[in-house]
Amino acid sequence: MAEHRPKYIFITGGVISSVGKGIATASLGRLLQSRGLSVTVQKLDPYLNVDPGTMSPYQHGEVYVTDDGAETDLDLGHYERFLDQDLTAASSVTMGQISAEVIERERRGDYLGGTIQTVPHVTDLIKERVRGLAEHSGVDVLIVEVGGTVGDIEGQAFLEAIRQMRYEEPREGTLAIHVTPLFYLAATGELKTKPTQHSVRTLRSMGIQPDVIISRTDAPAERSITNKLALFCDVPSEAVMTLETADSIYQVPSMLEQAGLTELTLSRLQLTARPSAPGRSIDDWTEWAGGLSRTERVCRVGIAGKYVELRDAYLSVKEALIHAGAQRAARIEIKWIQSDDLDHADQPQIAAALADVDGVIVPGGFGERGIEGEIGVARFALEQRIPYLGLCRGMQNMVIAFARDRLQLADANTTEADPQTSNPVIALLDDQRELTQLGGTMRLGMYPCQLQPESRAQALYGSDIANERHRHRWEFNPRYRDRFEDAGLVASGTSRDGALVEIAEVGDHPFMIGSQFHPELKSRPQRSHPLFLGFIDSVLAESETALRHPVGAAAPRPSALHTLAGRVAEG
């Protein structure tokens, strides 16, 4: 029996960050799956942080969490959504992890007194991580995305490791793809290839000749542009592809398929396509993605958070809304609401902020900033019966709002914002109080949630157990649970032993549910998350406008919710 030998695809980026490597990586993975191949993905991030868990969302966007509790780059979310695959910590490798492990091995004496160097010790460990994932997962193809841009000093060891692997693997065992921007100069009406030429020259100086170039552009490119890139970058013209900015990231797999990337990859790696699994063909994907632009119903959803200046901070929330909307043939329009700008006691101000939305989500976050505004949004949604979904801190702020409104505990708070509050309805558990390190010390990863019989949560999931991903430190204070339930806020989901509240819901409300976990991390394009789907169903049920207002019409007729918000604003 022949030994299984995986193939490797290395994807690098040049000139600028955020050029679309992650979407290209995820899209190629989906395309190979559509040919019946098994695929998984790995991200190599050059920064020296062990993981992004201690980074501000303003640095790298949201922190994505896997089932096994790894805090990772948001690109892993794209990979999981496009491939419909649950990844692990092995799919996220940072230079901080590599450096820490090399030092640990040196301290143990593993290197037998040798001088520790980037080559071979750092590069060998990188290759070990890459090959280890491919072999452990048993896939046909491992796609490896290198974060940052070619030329970044901190990424050089990753590129050197890739150069060595291209030398060590068979000629047909690896493929190098380089993603760069084509800049359009409005003054001359030209697309400029020089930045890509320089980027490829830098990559070649490190010993890597790209096999494929994907040029991102906001304007259509003539064939003369790709021919020019082929000539000056030593890449066959059929392997130079331009990728125009799409209306939706979910259109990208179909665009790359039409450009010929799938067939080129199969040919270059000498892979044989097999029948795809049911629902996994590119036609299935294209049909689903095409439906996003064909819907006639609109849902206007507010997202009220502290990081809304950088939309990527709530990337998975946005995508989960798109998935749920698509399942109900509704297009989602998001209104971003900066919670810092809101005063919880200023009802007219909050009414104005929510006047043109049909439902509101308060997502996760850390720190005192923005909490009172989010509590005000939750309280307004409670009083005015606006569909509300609280995610992690959004659940905690919903609990605080309920305590202040229904339990008459005016000073109810979280000890994260007010350590001295006399009514800490959200607090640290005993085993969290003495922690001195921030990184990796939260409740992280997948935990089972026991759903209570006859609750809305159980009805939405259609199950007694939900396995969900967490990333938080503060918890619902169990000392107050009986008082909340007597007043109408029910713990409809708990830990298996009943000690921790995982889901809270308000029984006499059209839809007011908060989850201690992050359901957005489990949503998939063709398989929406139950909580998001229930939220969208409630929004559609509550808003006649969302059901009848066609896409592209001038202005929606005010719904009952909008009229009510206007009355509150008028006093």
Which domain CATH number covers 383?
3.40.50.880
Q: Is the pLDDT of residue 568 over 70?
A: no
Burial class of residue 536, CB neighbours in 10 A (0-12, 13-18, 19+): buried
Mean pLDDT of 263-278: 95
Q: Is the pLDDT of residue 440 over 90?
A: no
Mean pLDDT of 272-290: 92
87 and 114 in one domain? yes
Is residue 302 within 8 Å of residue 384, measured between CB atoms? no
With bands split at pLDDT 50, 70 and 90, how would you rate the model's confidence at 430? low
Q: What is the pLDDT of residues 445-468, one digit of tens each?
A: 999 999 999 999 999 999 999 999
From 267, 288, 309, the end of a domain falls on: 288
Q: Is the pLDDT of residue 346 over 50?
A: yes
Residue from 78, 176, 88, 81 nearest 137 by CA = 88
Task: Give the total number of structural domains in the chain.
Answer: 2
Q: What is the pLDDT of residues 167-178, one digit of tens each?
A: 999 999 999 999
With bands split at pLDDT 50, 70 and 90, how would you rate the model's confidence at 1? very low
- The single residue of 178, 520, 542, 549 carrying the catalytic annotation is 520
Token pair 């049920």 in the structure block, residue: 541
DSSP code of 237?
G
Task: Please give the Cα distance from 141 to 165 (Å, whole number).
Answer: 14
Is residue 259 within 8 Å of residue 29, measured between CB atoms? no
376 and 413 in one domain? yes
Mean pLDDT of 523-552: 79
Q: What is the pLDDT of residues 51-101, one digit of tens each?
A: 998 888 888 899 999 999 999 999 999 999 999 999 999 999 999 999 999
Q: Is 80 a catalytic residue?
A: no
Task: Please give the Cα distance from 217 to 189 (Å, whole number).
Answer: 13
Is residue 388 within 8 Å of residue 398, measured between CB atoms? yes
Give the model's pLDDT for residue 544.
Answer: 56
410 and 262 in one domain? no
276 and 333 in one domain? no
Q: Is the pLDDT of residue 526 over 50?
A: yes
Q: Is the pLDDT of residue 567 over 60?
A: no
Say if residue 348 is preceded by a cis peptide, omega within 30 of 0. Answer: no
Q: Is the pLDDT of residue 551 over 90?
A: no
What is the strand order of the sheet 39-45 is part of?
92-94, 39-45, 141-146, 7-13, 174-181, 212-217, 240-244
157 and 27 in one domain? yes
Give the model's pLDDT for residue 570.
Answer: 32
Give the model's pLDDT for residue 157.
Answer: 97
454 and 307 in one domain? yes
134 and 11 in one domain? yes
407 and 284 in one domain? no
Is residue 519 within 8 Å of residue 504, measured between CB atoms? no
Give the model's pLDDT for residue 564.
Answer: 36
Q: Is the pLDDT of residue 2 over 60?
A: no
Q: Is 518 a catalytic residue?
A: yes
Give the model's pLDDT for residue 316.
Answer: 97
Is residue 542 within 8 Å of residue 358, measured between CB atoms? yes
Burial class of residue 516, CB neighbours in 10 A (0-12, 13-18, 19+): buried
488 and 423 in one domain? yes
- The single residue of 145, 344, 372, 392 carrying the catalytic annotation is 392
277 and 337 in one domain? no
Give the structural domain span for 512.
295-563
491 and 472 in one domain? yes
Q: Is the pLDDT of residue 166 over 70?
A: yes
Q: Which residues pair with 214 in a beta bridge?
A: 179, 241
Task: Please give the Cα distance from 109 to 88 (Å, whole number).
Answer: 29
> Does residue 15 sit within a domain?
yes
Q: Is the pLDDT of residue 519 over 70?
A: yes
Is residue 130 within 8 Å of residue 165, measured between CB atoms? yes
315 and 281 in one domain? no
Task: Please give the Cα distance from 360 to 380 (Å, whole number).
Answer: 10
Q: Is the pLDDT of residue 558 over 80?
A: no
Is residue 285 within 8 Å of residue 313, measured between CB atoms? no
Please give the torsion angle defined by the CA atoms of residues 27, 30, 34 and 35, in that order, rounded to the nearest 10 degrees: 80
> Does residue 220 sit within a domain?
no
Q: Which residues pair with 302 in a beta bridge?
A: 335, 360
Give the model's pLDDT for residue 554.
Answer: 36
> Does residue 195 sit within a domain?
no
Cα distances (angstroms) measured from residue 310 to each of 58, 305, 316, 348: 6, 11, 13, 26
Task: Please give the Cα distance from 384 to 562 (Å, whole number).
Answer: 11
- The single residue of 518, 529, 549, 562 carrying the catalytic annotation is 518
Give the model's pLDDT for residue 57.
Answer: 86
Alpha helices in 359-433 (DSSP H): 371-384, 393-405
Give the model's pLDDT for residue 87.
Answer: 98
Task: Please give the Cα distance from 242 to 57 (Å, whole number).
Answer: 31
Task: Please give the Cα distance from 107 to 112 (Å, whole number).
Answer: 10
Give the model's pLDDT for residue 344.
Answer: 81
Give the model's pLDDT for residue 14.
Answer: 94
State percent of the chain over pLDDT 90: 81
> Does residue 454 sit within a domain?
yes
Is residue 153 within 8 Å of residue 203, measured between CB atoms? no
- Rounded to the nearest integer, the mean pLDDT of the chain is 91
DSSP code of 251?
G
Give the model's pLDDT for residue 345.
Answer: 78
What residues contact residue 57 under an 8 Å CB cut-off, 6+ apart? 63, 307, 310, 312, 313
